[in-house]
Chains A and B, each alone.
Chain A
Amino acid sequence: MPAATPTYDIAPAAWRFRLSPLLKRAAGPLVLLALWEIASRTGVLPERILAAPSQIFVTLGELIVSGEIVSNVLVSLQRVLTGLAVSLSLGTALALVAGLTRQGEVAVDSTMQMARTLPFLGLVPLFILWFGIGEFTKIALIAFATTFPMYLTLYSGIRGIDSKLVEAARLFGLSYPQLIVHVILPGALPSFLVGLRYSLGVSWLSLVAVEQINATAGLGYLINNARDFMRTDVIVVCLLVYSLLGLATDLLVRGIEHYALAWRPTFIKD
């Protein structure tokens, strides 16, 4: 007699997946915070080395109420977005040139491969000499730092496109611009979004260096100022803001992926 058909209870799995993705992603950091607070309260972590999370939250509250955090983040956000707009255009244009033509690859790729290994911090004094200490230098440095991830991933994405699809598109009469819009860019998008994610992260990090230059506002300015005055609580608040920005960036890219990569088997839900 055959054994009874095993029944698989899928209910627990379904329940787990109903948890908010935001909550799931925040669980790790929250556990870390709790451990830190416990360490501070029990004296394992002395206050002079690192303030307790509760104290940091008080400082955070003060900075929020005074509007300092928001105004500085907004200044930084503006710089980041301007720099990213430049690097997005530049990275995409260069990747298309290098990815689509043999001559373009020869002309662009080796240069980009060399330039991407230049230490970003080492360029700060040169950029100051060339472009002064105004906004331009700050944005140029952000753009410089974020161009390479976008270029590299889009270039490899373009090169990774199935040539059979390009052939089919040619056969079905797509013009060259149509080929780029309907085949090459969508095909390279998954790879490019990895680069975008990386670029967004780099852009926030570059603020620390960039906003040392004659800045009177911005997240980097705030953190440098706090360092000068030994305000560890303010430093941690700034770091907290950074991590929240990282989380927001990740959510943003996930949102883009969810919408733009809906065709990928991993995103398809029937």
Chain B
Amino acid sequence: MSTIELELPGLKARNDGSHADIPALPRAPVHARQLSKRFGANTILDQLNLDIRAGEFVALLGRSGSGKTTLLRALAGLDRITSGTLDVPQARAAVFQEPRLMPWKRAWRNVTLGLKIDQPRERARKALAEVGLEHRENAWPATLSGGEAQRVALARALVREPQLLLLDEPFAALDALTRIRMHQLILSLWRQHRPSVLLVTHDVDEAVLLADRVLVLEQGRIVSDIAITQPRPRSAERREFQQVRAQLLQLLGVESDAPAEVVAPAPVPVHTPFNFSNFSI
């Protein structure tokens, strides 16, 4: 099969109770079927299926080498896929681990880089104000701190009003305090703009803290799809949080301190391994 008619009612059956509170949408902005990416003999992504609904915050976990970044690059359109089908919205933006600001452009010019819009400076100022950096609009990137530079990169992504926001370990290089602030910022911006978000991370806590759904990628396939239904703001001290955390760590091959917690019935509905053949289309 090459393409799937997304309007088929069968696909809506995917919301099988676990997502009953989320209305079924006619079309998932991100829709990948049998997605494969090979470099020579190496298969990085292996017939992967993925849907991300409009406004959904999805975190992607996986060991290094599992294909996380490759998947993100494919979604961003930076790499061609080897086979399969992939639908992504035209309006997409990304924030990477490094801010990737043009050092020779002032902050506001970085924000509007490549945009053909009226009053670019006003738009840039607004976007920078959203990330709390209106006072730095004329700063050179070299004078920004790591957190500030990453916020400019976030403003640059948001000013494009993306339908899909790709985050490639954007907080990994930040110190712990800045990271907490960035988590709060990204959630508030996500609530305001409602893009679909794919957050690639190696930090289990971060994934559970932020996402609606946590995917675990292993050997180029999504082996686990866990919905996080706890209301935000979430606390790492909560029992449910710890359970999901322990479960994810086990999936990632890290032995948990409290295995008894894992076998206890999880309050969160889990479908593992995630497989679209479970659903009739």
Contacts and interface: CB of A to CB of B under 8 A. Distances in A.
A262 B93 CA distance: 28
Given A171-B94, A172-B93, A183 B140 contact: no
SS of B interface (majority): loop
Contact of A164 (B98, B105, B115, B160): B98
B105 A182 contact: yes
B142 A170 contact: no
A182 B115 CA distance: 12
Interface string A172-183: 111000100011
B181 to A, nearest CB: 23
Contacts of A183: 102
Contacts of B114: 169, 172-174, 178, 182
A263 interface: yes
A263 B78 contact: no
A270 interface: yes
Nearest to A266: B142
A187 to B, nearest CB: 7
Contacts of A178: 114
B77 A263 contact: no
Contacts of B96: 164, 168
A167 interface: yes
B156 interface: yes
B256 interface: no
B104 A164 contact: no
B141 A263 contact: yes
B142 A268 contact: yes
The contact size tier of chain B is: 20 to 34
B176 to A, nearest CB: 25
Interface in A224-268: 261-265, 268
B143 interface: yes
The contact size tier of chain A is: 20 to 34
A165 B153 CA distance: 12
B270 interface: no
Q: Which of B76, B114, B140, B141 gathers the greatest number of chain A CB atoms within 10 Å?
A: B114
A182 B77 CA distance: 21
A181 to B, nearest CB: 11
Given A263-B142, A268-B143, A174 B100 contact: no
B103 interface: yes
Nearest to B166: A171
Nearest to A173: B114
B104 A171 contact: no
A201 interface: no
A168 B92 CA distance: 12
B113 interface: yes
A186 B78 contact: no
Nearest to B100: A168
A174 B102 CA distance: 13
A178 B93 CA distance: 18
A138 to B, nearest CB: 37
Given A171-B76, A265-B142, A164 B100 contact: yes
6 contacts: A167-B100, A172-B113, A178-B114, A186-B104, A186-B105, A268-B142
Interface of A: 164-165, 167-174, 178, 182-183, 186-187, 189, 261-265, 268, 270
Interface of B: 76-78, 93-94, 96, 98, 100, 102-106, 113-115, 140-143, 156, 160
**Ordered nearest first, which 9 A-B pairs have the shortest CB separation?**
A168-B100, A186-B104, A174-B114, A265-B142, A263-B104, A263-B140, A172-B114, A173-B114, A263-B103
